[in-house]
Amino acid sequence: MKRTLLFIATNLGIMLVLGITASLLGVNRFLTSNGLDLTKLLMFAGLMGFGGAFISLLLSKPIAKWSTKARVITQPSNSTEQWLLNTVAAQAQRAGIGMPEVAIYEGEPNAFATGATRNSSLVAVSTGLLQSMTEQEVEAVLAHEVAHIANGDMVTLTLIQGVVNTFVIFIARIVGYFVDGMLRKNDEENTGPGIGYMVTVIVCEIVFGILASIIVAWFSRQREFRADRGAANIMGQSQPMVAALRRLGGMAEGELPKNMSAFGISGKGGAMALFSSHPPIEERIAALQAR
């Protein structure tokens, strides 16, 4: 419940900030007496689409820490924490990135990486993962998350999300304007778009948003295959990552906050595979064994 409320509150806050910005810039006045101002509409759509995605990216690390209650390891209190720091440091060096913050959080088996840049990132693992995997399997999971950072996956997915958001907002309003015009073409007192425009925009944003989420999820699944290969390269062999995936396949994965789920080590598949951020474990194992 806390994670859901945080997700809603964050998005409402982002929309409020972007709405005020759009008003100050005047790009929200794309509906004119002469019709749609496509230039202003595109600027409005870009501001809302990319602005929301990049603000979420910038806030990703503090939100992840707060929502999972992750404890960043600054001074190791035991041998496990020291091992985690040493392992991530060695992997980061091999991957050519800055040392990420390393954190532990209470929960079922999972891990994630987040952060706005390759040199300002966070790798977090759950207590459930540490307790249920061998040291080599945990090392493989850490390498997978480090590979996400080295590949710039957080920024890449943000850019993709920004592009699809922009097109959804832009096209929905164009369709809404024309539908409203068709409904009101015999209205001699037509003073601008009415209820038809608003309803059509809402429906189009829902429909186009669903289609857009399928595109984003497809890109996310390709990132997972790439991060698996990156983990194998960092470790010098594929077998530890294969073993870690097999272990994960027999576990109930831990839930992550909505804005972090695409960067976890595992995710949901099944009937909603088109919307899943992660490929099936079997496909990931097969891809690693075929490399």
Binding residue ranges for Zn(2+):
144, 148, 224
- Active site (annotated) includes residue 188: no
- Strand locations in the chain (E): 31-32, 35-36, 71-72, 101-105, 111-117, 120-126
Where do we find the tokens 């509906």? 31
In whole angstroms, what is the distance from residue 190 CA to residue 9 CA?
38
In terms of Cα–Cα distance, which of 105, 121, 123, 102 is closest to 69? 105
In sequence order, the 6+-apart residues with CB closer than 8 A to the CB of 65 are 72, 103, 122
Question: How many Å from the N-terminal Cα to the C-terminal Cα in the chain?
Answer: 42
In whole angstroms, what is the distance from residue 201 CA to residue 73 CA?
47
Catalytic residue chosen out of the listed positions 137, 145, 205, 253: 145
Active site residues: 145
